[in-house]
Amino acid sequence: MPLRALAGLADVAPTALCRAAEKAVRVLLRAGDGVTLSLARSGDEPPLTVPRDPAREAARRELSKDLYHQNDPGLVQRTLDTLWDWIGDLFGTASTATPGGTLGLLVVVLAVVAVVAALWWRLGTPGRRPTSTPALFDDRPRSAAEHRAAAEAHAAQGHWNQALQERMRAVVRALEERALLDARPGRTADEAAAEAGRSLPAHTDRLRAAAGDFDDVTYGGRRATRQSYTRMAALDVDLERAKPELTAHSPHQTARPARRGAAE
Domain for residue 195, yes or no? yes
The pLDDT value recorded for residue 73 is 72
133: three-class secondary structure by DSSP: coil
Torsion of CA 145, 132, 213, 195, to 10 degrees: -60
Contacts of 209 (CB under 8 A, 6+ apart): 231
Q: Does residue 71 carry a pLDDT above 90?
A: no
Measured CA to CA in angstroms, residue 61 lies from 54, 57, 181, 236 at distances of: 10, 6, 88, 85
Domain for residue 188, yes or no? yes
Range of the structural domain that residue 181 is part of? 144-241
The pLDDT value recorded for residue 17 is 53
Domain for residue 158, yes or no? yes
Count Cβ atoms below 10 Å from residue 247 Cβ, excluding itself: 10
Give the whole-angstrom CA distance, residue 34 versus residue 56: 12
Domain for residue 186, yes or no? yes
Domain for residue 227, yes or no? yes
Q: How far is CA 227 from the centre of its chain?
A: 27
> How confident is the model over 130-185, as pLDDT tens digits?
444 555 655 567 899 999 999 999 999 999 999 999 999 999 999 999 999 988 88
Confidence of residue 36 (pLDDT cuts 50, 70, 90): very low
| More confident of the two residues 179 and 61 | 179
Structural domain tally of the chain?
1
